[in-house]
Amino acid sequence: MLTILLRKVSIDKEFSIVQVGQFQSYSPQVSYGGLQAPTLNPYGAGSFNPSSGMNMLSMMFSLMQSLAQLSQGWGSFGGGGFGGQQPVDYASMHFPNLQSYNPNGTSTGYGGGGTGGTGAALPRPSDPQEFASYIQAQIAGGALQGNTSVAQRDAIPGSRFGQVQDPTMWQASLARNYAYQFAAQAVGANPLSAQGLQQGMQSFSQMKPEAQLFMQVASVFKGDLLGGPGFYDNAGLKSLLESRGLQQFINDPQVGKTDVQTIGAITAAINSGQLSLNDVINSGTISDLNRYQNVINYVSGGGFAGDLRNYDTVPV
C-alpha cells in the first residue's frame, strides 16, 4: 500500500513551518508597509494557504514525484524490469532547448563542462561594503542558528545593501550574495563571513559555466523574484550525490539539511564534471519546474545581470 504525504502544516509564534511532500521551509512572517525597508525571508515560504494555486501545484508535483518513484521501483523489481526501460527525462520534457543555455559547450544541454557561457556574466558588486553588510544582516536574522531571514534594517547603515529601496534590485543583490555563498561553500571557504564571500566571488568566475549557471539559478529560485520562493528537497539532493557514488562532496554534516551547504555540495559536484544540471532537474528535487525554467531564462537571457547592474549604479 502506497501512502503519500501531501501536506503538513504547523504554525507557531514566530515561524510558519510548511511541508509539501519532501519540501519543507521554516520562515518568519513577512510584512510590507509604506516606505518601510525591505524585510523578508528570501529563501523560505511565506504563510501557507491551502487553497492557493501555488500550493495546489506543489502538492500535484509531490504526488507525481511519488508515483514516478513508485514506477521506477516497479521497473527495477527483479532486476531491470520492463526490458530495461529508461527513467523519464524530465529535463528534456520541460526544457526543450537545453543546448541554448550552454551554447559553446562540448556537450549538449546541461550534460557537462566545456567552455560555454551562462548567457550573461554575473556583475561583481561595486560597493566595498556589500559583503560585510549582507553578512551582518544575515547573522542578525539568525543564520548561525540555522534561520534564513534577512532584514535590510540590520545591514550596515550607508551601504548600498542597507539603503536601496527598489525591491527588484534589492532581491537581485540578495540572490547574488547567496550565489557567492554557494561558491564559497563549494571551495571550502566560510560562507558566513565577508572574507568567505570574497573568496566565493573570486572562485565563481573560475568555475565551469554549468556550475555558474546552477548557482545563479538556485539563488534566484530560492528567493522572491519571479513569483518565488521555490524549494529544493535538500535530503533528496544528498541522496542524488550518494546514488552517484559522490560521497566525497558530502563533507559537511549540514549537507542534506541546509541550503547553502547542500547547494554548495551539488555545485562542487557539477564543477567536477561528475554531475550535471540535467541530473538535478531529473532528480525530482525541484518544487516548481515551470518557474525553474523561467528563472533559467531570466539568468541566461541577461535579466538577472541587468537588474544587478541597475542596483550597482544606485548612489551610496
| DSSP character string of 184-236 | HHHTT--TTSHHHHHHHHHHHTTS-HHHHHHHHHHHHHHSSTTT----B-HHH
CA 298 to chain centre: 14
Q: What is the pLDDT of residue 234?
A: 96
Is there a domain that residue 308 lies in? yes
How many domains does one find in the chain? 1
Compute the average pLDDT of residues 52-73: 48
Predicted local confidence at residue 108, as pLDDT: 28
* Residue 16 covered by a domain: no
Of residues 24 and 145, more confidently modeled? 145
User: Would residue 138 count as lying in a domain?
Assistant: yes
What is the average pLDDT value for the chain, to the nearest integer?
74
Q: How far is CA 289 from CA 90, 177, 230, in A?
A: 9, 23, 10
Q: Is residue 211 part of a domain?
A: yes
Q: What angle do CA 311, 230, 211 make, to 5 degrees?
A: 70
- Flag whether pLDDT at 101 surpasses 70: no
Provide mean pLDDT across the span 276-303.
94
Quickly state the pLDDT bin for 295 (edges 50, 70, 90). very high
Compute φ and ψ for 95, nearest 5 degrees.
-130, 75
Other beta carbons within 10 Å of 113: 19
Is residue 155 assigned to a domain? yes
- Identify the CA nearest to 163 among candidates 152, 171, 174: 152
| More confident: 23 or 76 | 23
Q: Is residue 63 part of a domain?
A: no
pTM equals 0.70
Domain housing 169: 97-312
pLDDT value at residue 7: 33
Q: What pLDDT is attached to residue 17?
A: 30
Least confident of 78-82, 233-237, 307-311: 78-82
pLDDT in tens, 84-93: 333 455 555 5
Q: Are 170 and 38 in contact (CB under 8 A)?
A: yes
CA dist., res. 297 & res. 94, Å (int): 13
Compute the distance between CA of residue 271 and CA of residue 251 in angstroms, rounded to an integer. 16
Q: Which amino acid is at 98?
A: L
Question: Does residue 120 sit within a domain?
Answer: yes
Q: What is the pLDDT of residue 147?
A: 74
- Each residue of 254-278: pLDDT tens digit? 999 999 999 999 999 999 999 999 9
Residue 281 pLDDT class (50, 70, 90 cuts): very high
Q: What is the pLDDT of residue 246?
A: 98
Nearest Cα to 305, choosing from 200, 178, 175? 175
Q: What is the mean pLDDT of residues 115-130?
A: 77
Report the Cα–Cα distance between both ends of the chain, in Å, rounded.
Answer: 61
Sign, Cα dihedral of 21, 26, 28, 30: negative
Domain membership of residue 228 (yes or no) is yes
